[in-house]
């Protein structure tokens, strides 16, 4: 059984919150959840192109969401011209 939609949202929010602390981003709760979820989706897609899949469990999804959210924060800052 997978983590489910509610579990994915909670994990995404946690990943986004941790990423915002690591990257010292001043974002709100909704933005954190969005960053975590979008980061996880984007990174899962990229990894699937190389036949790499995160397990359907909370820890691998948290790691993927965290890395993806950090990459999104970094890319956003790079596009805006501040590091």
DSSP code at position 12: H
pLDDT of residue 2 exceeding 70, the answer is no
Q: Model's pTM, two decimal places?
A: 0.78
Contact in structure between 24 and 4 (CB atoms under 8 Å) = no
Q: Which residues contact 82 (CB under 8 A, 6 or more apart)?
A: none
Q: Where are the alpha helices (DSSP H) in the chain?
A: 4-22, 29-49, 58-80
**Per-residue pLDDT at 46 exceeds 80:** yes
| Residue range 13-39: mean pLDDT, rounded | 83
Q: Give domain limits for the chain.
A: 4-80
């Amino acid at each position: 059984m997978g983590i489910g939609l509610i579990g994915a949202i909670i994990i995404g929010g946690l990943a986004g919150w941790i990423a915002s602390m690591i990257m010292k981003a001043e974002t709100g709760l909704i933005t954190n959840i969005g960053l975590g979820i979008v980061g996880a989706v984007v990174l899962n897609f990229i990894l699937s192109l190389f036949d790499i899949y995160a397990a359907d469990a909370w820890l691998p999804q948290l790691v993927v969401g965290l890395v993806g959210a950090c990459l999104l924060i970094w890319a956003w800052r790079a596009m805006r011209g501040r590091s």
